């Protein structure tokens, strides 16, 4: 009910909605309407109440809860269902659990805080309360496990685009899955899947965006990390950024499903790449290769040329870019 009242207020935009009208439309008493209005006010919504005119939404706080996101999103499938948590171990772990129980494609898990946020390869991910966007999306593409890496490229392209559009500030993409500003990491993506050998059950894409941390907020070993606000010097609405991410991601994802190609995403990943043209250090089967990053293929692999001139495709893995993140020029 509260959600319906919030929707009515939002739909009205600048004007007033009368209590009578809401009470009739929703089939509840005017007292019930008033009770929900009060509850919304307690949650931070500024609502003006003028007799004979009704109610008007003056300020919409930057909430990330299901009602707030589901009502405002401009994507159609992504975020249609949102699970919101004050605190969670890891949004990916929660999303995998929900997916195993049957949650539909596009379901979003979002949390104010992760107690045990996960990075790639079992690493941890700093996810301080309210300081970032910690969300996971459930996907169910009819593709083979081998093609799961494509989803990471789509996600990187979408999230990079969304952040750049939303902030008006340049981003870079470090293949396969980091988004940078001023060459510092502001976002990581963790793709996980549940699969049979030839069929994916579901994919969970975890997206962590550092939004409002100050420079000193990151631990010492994360010297290469930054936040959008520390880079841009501007305040960011997490909700509008989430909405932008869902929109861009959905667009590129469905383009892939319809065309079978991630061409559009790769075009974006190439355009903003800090990896291409650079010297890279690749760790493959515990062996270190120094090479030049030449291209990102249509399948999302990194094409490298090693020191003997040999070309090699890398599906996914540990790639350090010279001059970035402690891989200093030698």
> Which of the stretches 14-22, 106-114, 144-152, 156-164 binds its own copies when contact is defined by CB under 8 A?
144-152
Which is closer to its own copies, CB of 141 or CB of 176? 176
Residue 301 CB, shortest distance to its own copies, in Å, is 11
Residue 112 CA to residue 101 CA, distance in Å, equals 23
| Sequence-separated (6 or more) residues with CB below 8 Å from residue 222 | 126
Q: Mark 4-43 with x for binding to its own copies (rule: CB under 8 A) and - for no binding.
A: ----------------------------------------
Residue 277 CA to residue 216 CA, distance in Å, equals 32
Instruction: Output the CA torsion sign for 93, 96, 97, 98.
Output: positive
Which is closer to its own copies, CB of 90 or CB of 167? 90
| Sequence-separated (6 or more) residues with CB below 8 Å from residue 63 | 43, 44, 239
User: Which of 149, 187, 207, 266: binder of its own copies (CB under 8 A)?
Assistant: 149
Is position 145 an interface residue for its own copies (rule: CB under 8 A)? Answer: yes
CA distances from 256 to 72, 117, 154, 263, 272 (A): 25, 29, 8, 8, 20
Is position 317 an interface residue for its own copies (rule: CB under 8 A)? Answer: yes
| Sequence-separated (6 or more) residues with CB below 8 Å from residue 32 | 1, 23
Which is closer to its own copies, CB of 198 or CB of 221? 198
Which pair of structure tokens corresponds to residue 8? 């009515």
Size, binding site for its own copies by CB under 8 A: 27
Is position 104 an interface residue for its own copies (rule: CB under 8 A)? Answer: no
Residue 21 CB, shortest distance to its own copies, in Å, is 48
62 CB-contact burial (10 Å; exposed 0-12 / middle 13-18 / buried 19+): middle
Residue 301 CA to residue 312 CA, distance in Å, equals 10
Which is closer to its own copies, CB of 5 or CB of 148? 148
Which is closer to its own copies, CB of 196 or CB of 221? 196
Q: Are 114 and 92 in contact (CB under 8 A)?
A: no
Decide: helix, strand or coil at residue 35.
helix
Is position 137 an interface residue for its own copies (rule: CB under 8 A)? Answer: no
> Scanning residues 181 to 240, which ones bind its own copies (CB under 8 A)?
190-199, 201
Which is closer to its own copies, CB of 47 or CB of 303? 303
> Scanning residues 287 to 316, which ones bind its own copies (CB under 8 A)?
315-316
User: Which of 36, 73, 120, 174: binder of its own copies (CB under 8 A)?
Assistant: 120
The residue behind tokens 């010279």 is 322
Which is closer to its own copies, CB of 79 or CB of 206? 206
Positions touching its own copies (CB under 8 A) are 93, 96-97, 100, 120-122, 145-146, 148-149, 152, 176, 190-199, 201, 315-317
């Amino acid at each position: 009910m509260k959600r319906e009242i919030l929707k009515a207020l939002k739909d009205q935009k600048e004007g007033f909605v009368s209590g009578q009208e809401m009470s009739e439309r929703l089939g509840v008493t005017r007292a019930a309407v008033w009770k929900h209005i009060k509850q919304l006010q307690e949650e931070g919504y500024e609502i003006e109440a003028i007799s004979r005119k009704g109610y008007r939404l003056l300020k919409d706080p930057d909430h990330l809860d299901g009602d707030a996101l589901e009502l405002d999103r401009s994507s159609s499938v992504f975020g249609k269902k949102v699970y919101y948590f004050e605190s969670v171990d890891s949004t990916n772990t929660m999303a995998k659990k929900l997916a195993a129980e049957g949650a539909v494609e596009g379901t979003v898990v979002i949390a104010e805080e992760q107690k045990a946020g996960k990075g790639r390869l079992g690493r941890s991910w700093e996810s301080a309360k309210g300081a970032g966007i910690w969300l996971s999306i459930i996907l169910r593409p009819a593709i083979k496990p081998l093609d799961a890496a494509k989803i990471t490229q789509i996600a990187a392209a979408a999230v990079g685009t969304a952040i750049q559009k939303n902030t008006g500030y340049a981003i870079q993409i470090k293949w396969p899955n980091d988004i940078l500003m001023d060459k510092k990491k502001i976002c990581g993506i963790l793709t996980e899947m549940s699969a049979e050998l030839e069929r994916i059950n579901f994919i969970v894409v975890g997206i962590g965006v550092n939004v409002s941390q100050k420079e000193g907020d990151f631990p010492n070993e994360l010297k290469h990390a930054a936040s959008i606000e520390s880079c841009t010097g501007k305040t960011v609405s997490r909700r509008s950024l989430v909405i932008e991410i869902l929109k861009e991601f959905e667009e590129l994802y469905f383009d892939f499903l319809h065309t079978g190609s991630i061409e559009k995403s790769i075009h974006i990943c190439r355009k903003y790449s800090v990896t291409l043209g650079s010297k890279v250090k690749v760790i493959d089967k515990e062996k270190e290769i120094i090479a030049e990053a030449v291209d990102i293929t249509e399948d999302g692999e990194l094409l490298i040329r090693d020191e003997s001139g040999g070309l090699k495709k890398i599906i996914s893995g540990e790639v350090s870019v010279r001059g970035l993140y402690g891989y200093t020029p030698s």
